[in-house]
């Protein structure tokens, strides 16, 4: 399974990458949303993890842009954020995210949600 992580804090990317590699995920990460968008235009992923607060383009804008890429539009996207405001979470979900996980990240919660979303996307698209 191939995972795209986008977080402007490289330390966060590396921590999630270490966790996911233990579970045999192939991980690609970017600290630049613009670089991540270019990568997504060229390659496919099974799931995408996005931070919200990033310079140049925030996670909500990136999520919307990713949904406009034909081969990415149905890929599950999980938003990772320290912001616990209920209205904010609802707004993010309306912009195309499939799940919202609060930071600091609980490893078990993240892995469980990823497996659930990947399984659901595979059953929705049997050709994957």
* Residues 6+ away with beta carbon under 8 Å from 2: 25, 26, 27, 28, 43, 44, 45, 46
Q: Which residues of 28-41 are buried (b: 16+ CB within 10 A; e: fewer)?
A: bbbbebeebbebbe
Per-residue pLDDT of the chain (128 residues; tens, 9 = 90+): 999 999 999 999 999 999 999 999 999 999 999 999 999 999 999 999 999 999 999 999 999 999 999 999 999 999 999 988 888 888 889 989 999 999 999 999 999 999 999 999 877 665 54
| CATH code that applies to domain 2-124 | 3.40.50.2300
Is pTM beyond 0.75 here? yes
Structural domain boundaries in the chain: 2-124
Q: What is the pLDDT of residue 128?
A: 47
């Amino acid at each position: 399974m191939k995972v795209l992580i986008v977080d402007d804090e490289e330390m966060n990317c590396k921590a999630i990458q270490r966790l996911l590699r233990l579970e045999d995920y192939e991980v690609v990460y970017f600290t630049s949303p613009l670089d991540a968008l270019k990568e997504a235009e060229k390659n496919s992923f099974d799931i995408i993890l996005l931070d919200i607060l990033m310079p140049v383009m925030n996670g909500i804008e990136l999520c919307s842009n990713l949904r406009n890429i034909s081969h990415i539009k149905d890929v599950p996207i999980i938003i990772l954020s320290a912001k616990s405001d209920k209205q904010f979470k609802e707004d993010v979900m309306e912009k195309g995210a499939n799940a919202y996980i609060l930071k600091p990240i609980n490893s078990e919660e993240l892995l469980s949600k990823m497996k659930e979303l990947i399984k659901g996307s595979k059953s929705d698209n049997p050709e994957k």
